[in-house]
Structure 1
Amino acid sequence: MAKETKKVPASKKPAPQVKAARKPNRPKLPRQKTQKKPASERSSAPKFRSLTPIVPPQSVAGRALTLVVAIMSFLACLTVGGVSVVWDAADDWQNDLVREVTIQIRPAEGVDMLREIDRAVALTQEFPGVETVRALSDDETRALLQPWLGDGLELESLPVPRLIQITVDDPEALDLSQLRAALEQEVIGASLDDHSIWTSRLSAMAGAVVLGGFAIMALVLGSMVLSVVFATQSAMAGNKDVVSVLHFVGAEDSFIAREFQRHFLVLGLKGGISGGAIASLAFLMLDLFTRRGSGQAGSDQLSALFGTVSVSLPGYLGVIAVVFLVAVLTALTSGLAVKAHLKRVD
């Protein structure tokens, strides 16, 4: 008997096996190692950041205070420059007077004036420290008397004293008292003028000018300090809520004072630099005016009084010192005003 084949339904037939396609071999790329930041760089990142300062940097009151500080700095720098010019001029005058001595020979009856002049010149040349000795000529004497007595003077007919000009090489080596005694003993009618009276008067004038300049500068800086105090109180009143919140969260008075000090220090630097720069420009313009206007009446008068009207290096260093002094005073004044205000509030 033939075997009966059993039909298997199509749904029960096993599925044909499909071989998976092989992936192509690709070269492996080396892995890049991520570099870790050093601990110093990671720790340097600020944890807290101040978004806005306590005192607004740009405000109408701040700009007005900067202008006031600039004006006060300008006036203080002008005072320092003026004192420097006068002091240098007085020092030059004193040096010129110390290096020049005058011998005056008065006429007397029965005395040969020319012989006494020659004797005084010869005697003076023997002293150490004397550079040159020169007797003024008749023409030079007439030129000295011309503004008061007019032209055409006859010196022989008038009792006009004759002058001998001495140029001193070393003022410390020349003994003026010994020279005076020798002239009074050896030369008839001779007297020595060492200009000590004028030197003492110039020293007194220079000292008075310096003291007056310091007094003016003190008044200017005092006015600036008062302006800073009022501006600080205004800023405290305008930021009253901010200060109250800082007190509530535990901020100390020193922290609030430092914030105000930093704000007013910047204002003081801006105003001081502006005033000092304008004052330095004014000094340079005055120097240029006196140099270019030589020969004119006003320039000649200034040159006769002060020489070259220019501020020396110590004067400009004084201007720089005034600028930093203004900034420091502004910061210190604001800090003290804030602390005093906070103590009153507490």
Structure 2
Amino acid sequence: MLRPERASTKMQERGPAHAAEKPVRDTSKPEPIVPERSIAGTALMLVIAIMGCLACLSVGAVTLVDRAASNWSADIGRELTIEVSAVDPATMDQRLDRAADLARVSPGIGSVSIVSEQETRALLEPWLGILGSEAALAELPIPRLVAMTVTDTSLLNLTTLQAALDQEVPGATVDDHRVWTDQLARMAGAMVLGGLGVLILVLSATILCVIFATRAAMAGNKDVVEVLHFVGASHTFIAGQFQRHFLMLGMRGGLIGGVSAILIFLIFQLWVMARRGAADAAQVEALIGSPALGLYGYAGCALVVFLIAFLTAATSRITVSRFLRGR
């Protein structure tokens, strides 16, 4: 039997060994399977940011074009013209006045005005070029126009107006600019489809980049995955770790790209406002109207950011799951 002093000495000798054997609780944050910050991860985030910026620019451009085409169609749809041919120049003024009177009494039509001969020539000069001189235009049988503004499309009946013109104003026809409206609609539709095609290509390229990055991450962390399999980790757990990692990468990259695209549109808008009155800014406003994105444009950019993050996470999870099932 040991004496108390000897027992105390024995316990002191064995104390450090027992202390070393006692498990120490690690309160630090566990290290993720895939490193959060790496050269490959940073490069992928920059690629996603570039793709996100291009996608948001496409969505913004489609929004501006679609809104401009809608405004053009609405403006054209509110205006009609009666074209009075120059079959009898001697009676042109009387026929113009009669056509204007018939238009004024037609339901759904508001203001009616006769386009003067000088205004008609001014309209033709850019198209006729050298023939647009006063002498050349005076020899041409130029038709005259009666401009009308539509106030209520539900009351408008162009068939009745055309029948009245055929009866009382020979050589007069109503032009509702349907040809121009159809051309604008086709052009806007083609540009919208082109923008959506660019968006699909950008998202497809993003998915391919994520696939290659995920495979590279799996190859670089092969030993870690093997250990996790050895200790009983499920495929769902491992795939979830990669999904979380690439979700954060996609979210950060998409936000950077989306904010960059919005800044580009804001700079463009400020440039147009600063240059208001100049020829270049006037042409831009005549083409697309207001350069501001508006609510739908900003909502589209936000949707693209979330779509890129979702596609990045989903692509990485599917790639990891297929890789693990093939082992």
> Normalised by the size of structure 1, how large is the TM-score?
0.82
Q: Please name the residue that 2:93 is paired with.
A: 114
- Give the 3 Å change call, closer, same or farther, for CA 49–344 of structure 1 in structure 2: farther
1:310 Cα deviation from its structure 2 partner: 2.5
Give the Å deviation of 1:128.
1.3
- Partner residue of 1:331? 313
1:93-104 matched pairs, under 5 angstroms: 93-104=72-83
Which AA in structure 1 matches 2:202?
V
User: Which residue in 2 is equivalent to 1:91?
Assistant: 70
Q: The residue matched to 1:211 in structure 2 has which SS?
A: helix
* Counterpart for residue 41 of structure 2: 62
CA distance in 1, matches of 2:258, 2:108: 45
Matches within 5 A, 1:1-346: 51-109=30-88, 112-147=91-126, 148=128, 149-153=131-135, 158-345=140-327
**CA-to-aligned-CA distance 1:148-172 (integer Å, 9 cap, x gap):** 3444359775422111101101123
- Give CA-to-partner distance per residue, 1:7-60, whole Å, 9 cap, x none: xxxxxxxxxxxxxxxxxxxxxxxxxxxxxxxxxxxxxxx999861111110101
Secondary structure of 1:61's counterpart equals: helix
Could you say which structure has the larger radius of gyration?
1
Change (3 A) 1:278 1:110: closer
Any idea what the Cα deviations from partners look like across 1:88-136, whole Å, max 9, x if unmatched? 1100110011101110101223751111111111111111110111001
- What code does the residue aligned with 1:64 have? A
5+ residue gaps in structure 1? 1-45
Percent of aligned pairs sharing the same letter: 49
RMSD: 1.9
The CA distance in 1 between the partners of 2:94 and 2:204, in whole Å, is 66
Counterpart of 1:8 in structure 2 is none
The answer to which structure has the higher helix fraction is 2
Instruction: Out of 228-237 and 301-310, give the one that drifted further.
Output: 301-310
- In 2, the alpha carbon distance for the partners of 1:185 and 1:153 equals 34
Change (3 A) 1:54 1:173: same
Deviation at 1:144, TM superposition (A): 1.8
Task: Tell me, in whole angstroms, the C-alpha distance in 1 between the residues paired with 2:207 and 2:54.
Answer: 14
TM-score normalised by structure 2 residue count: 0.87
- For this pair of structures, how many residues does the alignment match? 300
What letter matches 2:165 in structure 1?
L
Partner of 2:8: none
- In the TM superposition, residue 186 of structure 1 has moved relative to its aligned partner by 1.7
The answer to whether the 8 Å contact 1:142/1:153 transfers is no
Instruction: Assess if the C-alpha contact under 8 Å between 1:80 and 1:213 holds in 2.
Output: yes
Deviations 1:162-212 (A, max 9, x none): 111011011232112222222122212101111101111111111111111
Q: Distance in 2 between matches of 1:203 and 1:157?
A: 37
AA at the equivalent of 2:105: E
The verdict on how the C-alpha distance between 1:110 and 1:234 changes in structure 2, with shifts beyond 3 A counting, is closer
State the one-letter code of the partner of 1:206. Answer: A
Deviations 1:267-319 (A, max 9, x none): 00000000000000000111111121123332222222212223221011100
* SS class of match (2:45): helix
**Aligned amino acid, residue 126 of structure 1:** V
Question: 1:83: Cα distance to partner?
Answer: 0.5
Q: Secondary structure at the match of 2:261?
A: helix
Alpha-carbon distance, 1:81 to partner: 0.5
